[in-house]
Structure 1
Amino acid sequence: MTSEPNVGSLKDELAAVLPQDFCCKVRYVHSPYKPCEPLFSPSPGSEPEKTRLASHLLTVSTKPASDAAESSGVLVLGIEVLVYHTKHLTTIFVSKADSTGYLRQQRPSPVRAITTTFLRWMTAKERHAYPSRKLVISLFARSQSQYLFPGSAENENKHVLDDRQLIKWWARVLDPIFPKKDERESGVGNAELEYSGYLTVPGYEGAEVRSFLPPSNDRSKNGLQWKPGNPLAELAATRGVAPGAPPRCLLPRFPDDPKARFMQDLDDDVGLSQDASATLSPSKRKSGKWSSIRDLNRFWEAMEFRQECSSGRVVGFLWLVIQPKYPPEPKVQDLTNAASQDSSVETQSSDPISQQEEVLSISGSPRKRRRKPLSGPIIPRQPRLKGGSSSLTATGDLAGIVETNVGDGLVLSKEGYDKAMQTLLHLDFANMEAARQSTSKWVSEVSAICGIQTNWSLDVSGTAKLESAAGRPVSNGTAQVNDLGSMIRKKRKPEDAISAQAQNAGAIEPGVNVLGGGMVRKKPKPAKS
């Protein structure tokens, strides 16, 4: 298997897909990998999978036309992504995505291009770090007026998609991550990778589900790119779970997930906890099964009657699975090296004291490690703000990110990232002035968390030459909006059609049979008595 190519910077990737003359500020923050609760419930008699989690937040802001002064702009887009690592599987979960409605309308919209590029860039990073590991992008599409920006629903310019439109939109966001048909057939590009997409909509089956899929979903030698259904059984086999395992061991539990709430209700009915260590019945603890749900098909059928999926609501669950065609056989030594590599990456962004404490807590051994006596001059450390991180980047130089376009973003501690998210969720984006003030407040708050005063945004200018449906170049101005008014034919009323025919009688092309006025006989009116 060939080595993975180097991953480009986030700034360059975004600039390559955004239209020319489109300028924005991108701010990307993320937390280092830390141990978390298992994403999947363990099989009966098995230990929970060791899972690590890193949180990522990408925000995009633009400068309003009325804002002449230098400022932080106005936030127009936000995407939060959670990345879970286990021994055999990497899961990229799109937690939240939202817009404020203050982005100037243009076609094609930069929102979808930014979202696709960010997910593709994160996928490339994970593939570069773990080329032999299976990777899955997962999300659920549920329409709401606002997710990340409070008050943005009051903005009349914000375009909120309904349930069906949102599912189709997310399918079009993930679809460009697939290699193109000519690349698959010619064997260029990522020819050593297999891609497969899945969509499950509770209450919809077969052709009804296919109506949500992108128009580019074509049949090739590898079959359909997108399929109705889910890859949960396939992912369970990758994790080493037996085929006959209970359904609760095959379903992931994401934050604010409709199916995770249903799973919790099913657990409560039989007294099962998430780790299956506590139950009201010893027999249930041994089997780890639900009383009413025996397999995955029955679970999705029951999801149709949940509050999130009933009363006219539609929720779509999407997966995109990427795996090597010929994965190498894992060896004990390889797994040991991978585990040591994961632990080293996890502790790169921590200070020496926290590293020592973490090593002692992970080992769990009663034997205490003998420490060497310290010697040399005592150098006091500078105090830092609560929730901050002593190491902002791998190089420790924040200004280098903006100048050298490394694109690795700003690394915050877990506490600092949570504080930045809570600040964002308590701001106001109801109008332009409030959105401008909220943007400045959030930027200054993140800077205060890190204890920095320099500009940490990435200034992105689009370089792509895009073309509209009519073949004309698309710019950032409003004059390039596609006007389909001349292509729309309105149905005329009968009296309007007769008058139009009379006016255009002299312009009718030869060959069309037209009755002249002398050949039309009118019925005589009855004589008046």
Structure 2
Amino acid sequence: MSVQSLRDALLASLSSLPGTRQFHIHVLVSSPRKHSGLFPYVHPRPRIYLQDILVLLSEQTTTDAPRVFVTAIEASVYNIPATSCGILYISKVDSSGQGIYPSPTATLVRSFLTYYADPATRPITVDTLWVQLFARAQGQYLFPNSSEFPGKRPLSDVKLCVWWKRLFTEVAEEAEGQLQSGSSGEKNGKIKLFYLLPGYSELEAQYSLKINSAAVQHPSRSIQWVYGHPYSQSDIPLPCPRAASQERHLGYCIPSFDDDPKSRFMDDLAHTTESNGVKSPKKKKPRTSLTKKPESTASTSEGVPPTRKAEHGEDNEEHHIRIGELDKVSPDEFWERMSFRQECISGAITGFFALGISTALSDRPPPSTSSTKPVSRSSSTPSPLAPQAGQVAARLVRRVVSTLLTCHEFSTTERAIRATETLEESIKGLCDNIASVPVTSKPEVSSTAHLLFFRDADESSTPVPDETPPEAGAGPSNLTYLDVPRTPPRRGGSLPDISPNPFPEPVASLDTYHSHIYGSVLVNNPPLPEKALTTGVGAAGKGEGDAGSRPVTVLAVRKKKRKSDA
């Protein structure tokens, strides 16, 4: 029996929405690649494999109506074989406000999380999965200028946290049902939920979320939330491995994601040293000062040449500088100090959410303590780097995201329709191995499909079948791509991977497009009753939502007549 694909699972969940409309979905999942930036302060670095995910959902009210994007999800999946752990990080979720009520955003995100939370459908072979995100309410994230559209009503900061807390609870409850074994009702795993609002105590956080709930909450009897971070508990394994002789510091506990405030704080700690009780950034030293060692130290090495000893000492000193204060700050102190970071005290409430799901297999040996060797599996198990059916090259996903963020806007219905048509045709064209698209001298916003087919200036010169350079005269030869906006940037950079990927990048085809990437479903269900409350739809990790198009009735106030003076 074949496992249901992510595209089919998302379409199946959308088919139960009320009303009459047709959904069109594009699911782009990149093939696994080696990644060294998840734990940049761990030595030696563990083997980690990364996949990029982009989900674009468009809506069509009738068969003759144009399509328009209504929801987008950007996420990353990390696979750490050494501990048999995986991380699903929700980077961005956005709604354009162009759809009809009820918005499909909550249903789509819930189905997306459930697909990875369920071990039966999870596409990576791990025993433990962590789902993490940072909730920060803003007007737009994936649909540029969508905040200017009158129909979009982003959730406030507290209501966004309420939305995510409710969604995580529903996913955890469904995942708990999947962990039941047989009729005895016993679990074969553990589930834990964590949330933290920086700057708020537990009572303050509970009160803030309770009074801002749009509906009556029914807390689960078995699923309980823990107010705090998951990096001090031992019930569910943490992703990063470590050797028995190594002492765990913050770099081993907290993963580093792109555009994440806790990652930037870790960078600041790693570049900070303490001198006479005053902490300040470490000044850069010339490379010669690091390699210079006293002769007495070099001559006392047993069995190690002086040159090798100097190199060894240089590595140790560089490693110590790179760690900085990470080995002096506990996880509890780290999160207490997070409350004073600018990104968490800018006047809006933010929230960190984490869901841990651990499947206990009695016949599986415990994870290896070495950070360089993966858990031993059967010889028939495919390599974590092997591309699976329906996956595309990572550069294709990056270019679609970059084009969405820099070449389109959704401030009006007309512009949103034009952007949807252009981007959907471009995705299909990439999968159909289109080599080039005619380019005008001054391309307009509605004609930006050509941006997907030019090669980045800093990319490898190795030719790619689906990215043949344009013919002479088709466009400027020095055209480069704009990076995806990330503010503010992190300090420092991750080391490049030292070994190449043994598997070639997959080449998308038209068959891949129709079998795994694109799909549609026609929804024809009874509409919601008019009494239904209009609740906003949150956007993910940083998000927003729309509260539907239900009109607001304004009640007039009768003015009390005043008695005239006699």
Scaled by the length of structure 2, what TM-score is found?
A: 0.63
> Is the aligned partner of 1:348 residue 2:387?
yes
**The one of 325, 328, 337 aligned to 2:377:** 337
**The one of 111, 129, 138 aligned to 1:144:** 138
Shift of 1:279: 8.8
Q: Which amino acid aligns with 1:336?
A: S
Q: Which amino acid aligns with 1:91?
A: I
**The one of 40, 47, 51 aligned to 1:50:** 47
Give the structure 1 partner of residue 345 of structure 2: 310
Could you tell me how far apart the structure 2 residues matched to 1:481 and 1:52 are?
42
Give the structure 1 partner of residue 396 of structure 2: 416
Give the structure 2 partner of residue 248 of structure 1: 251
Structure 1 unaligned spans of 5+: 350-393, 395-409, 473-479, 497-527
CA contact (8 A) 2:194 2:227 kept: yes
Could you tell me how far apart the structure 2 residues matched to 1:190 and 1:448 are?
50
Q: Which amino acid aligns with 1:77?
A: T
Cα-Cα RMSD: 4.3
Give the structure 1 partner of residue 334 of structure 2: 299
- Aligned with 1:336: secondary structure? coil
Shift of 1:159: 1.0
Q: How does 1:249-398 map to 2 (within 5 A)?
A: 249-270=252-273, 282=317, 285=320, 288=323, 290=325, 294-330=329-365, 335-337=375-377, 341=381, 343=383, 345-348=384-387, 394=389
Could you tell me how far apart the structure 2 residues matched to 1:194 and 1:292 are?
29
Give the structure 1 partner of residue 480 of structure 2: none
**The one of 430, 433, 447 aligned to 2:414:** 433
Over alpha carbons, which structure has the higher Rg?
A: 1
- Aligned with 1:139: secondary structure? strand
> Is the aligned partner of 1:113 residue 2:148?
no
Give the structure 2 partner of residue 449 of structure 1: 430
Give the structure 2 partner of residue 406 of structure 1: none
Shift of 1:146: 1.0
Could you tell me how far apart the structure 1 residues matched to 2:180 and 2:9 are?
29
Give the structure 2 partner of residue 33 of structure 1: 32
Q: Does 411-420 or 203-212 show the bigger shift?
A: 203-212
Scaled by the length of structure 1, what TM-score is found?
A: 0.67
Q: Does 318-327 or 177-186 show the bigger shift?
A: 177-186
Give the structure 1 partner of residue 491 of structure 2: none
Could you tell me how far apart the structure 2 residues matched to 1:148 and 1:74 are?
14
Q: Which amino acid aligns with 2:522?
A: S
Q: How does 1:156-175 map to 2 (within 5 A)?
A: 156-175=150-169
Distance 1:283 1:440, change over 3 A: closer
Could you tell me how far apart the structure 2 residues matched to 1:272 and 1:201 are?
34
CA contact (8 A) 2:73 2:93 kept: yes
Could you tell me how far apart the structure 1 residues matched to 2:218 and 2:328 are?
33
Deviations 1:273-304 (A, max 9, x none): 9xxx9999839719945179621111112111
Shift of 1:449: 2.1
Q: Does 442-451 or 82-91 show the bigger shift?
A: 442-451
Q: Which amino acid aligns with 1:252?
A: P
CA contact (8 A) 2:46 2:241 kept: no
Shift of 1:238: 5.8
Q: Sequence identity of aligned pairs in percent? A: 23
Give the structure 1 partner of residue 228 of structure 2: 229
CA contact (8 A) 2:40 2:251 kept: yes
Could you tell me how far apart the structure 2 residues matched to 1:339 and 1:492 are?
80
CA contact (8 A) 1:33 1:52 kept: yes
Q: More helix per residue: 1 or 2?
A: 1
Higher relative contact order (CA 8 A, sep 6+): 2
Q: Which amino acid aligns with 1:25?
A: H
Give the structure 1 partner of residue 89 of structure 2: 93
| Count, aligned residues | 414
Deviations 1:450-505 (A, max 9, x none): 22586743111236668659599xxxxxxx9999989x9x9998889xxxxxxxxx
Distance 1:329 1:41, change over 3 A: farther
Could you tell me how far apart the structure 2 residues matched to 1:161 and 1:278 are?
53
Could you tell me how far apart the structure 2 residues matched to 1:80 and 1:227 are?
26
Deviations 1:165-184 (A, max 9, x none): 11111112222112269969
- Aligned with 1:337: secondary structure? coil
Deviations 1:403-424 (A, max 9, x none): xxxxxxx532111111111111
> Is the aligned partner of 1:196 residue 2:197?
no
Distance 1:411 1:317, change over 3 A: same
Could you tell me how far apart the structure 2 residues matched to 1:134 and 1:23 are?
36
Distance 1:278 1:152, change over 3 A: farther
Distance 1:416 1:482, change over 3 A: closer
Structure 2 unaligned spans of 5+: 274-281, 285-311, 435-509, 534-547
CA contact (8 A) 2:271 2:321 kept: no
CA contact (8 A) 2:31 2:391 kept: yes
Give the structure 1 partner of residue 219 of structure 2: 218
- Aligned with 2:118: secondary structure? helix
Shift of 1:15: 3.7
Could you tell me how far apart the structure 1 residues matched to 2:313 and 2:121 are?
37
Give the structure 1 partner of residue 13 of structure 2: 14
- Aligned with 2:190: secondary structure? strand
> Is the aligned partner of 1:59 residue 2:50?
no
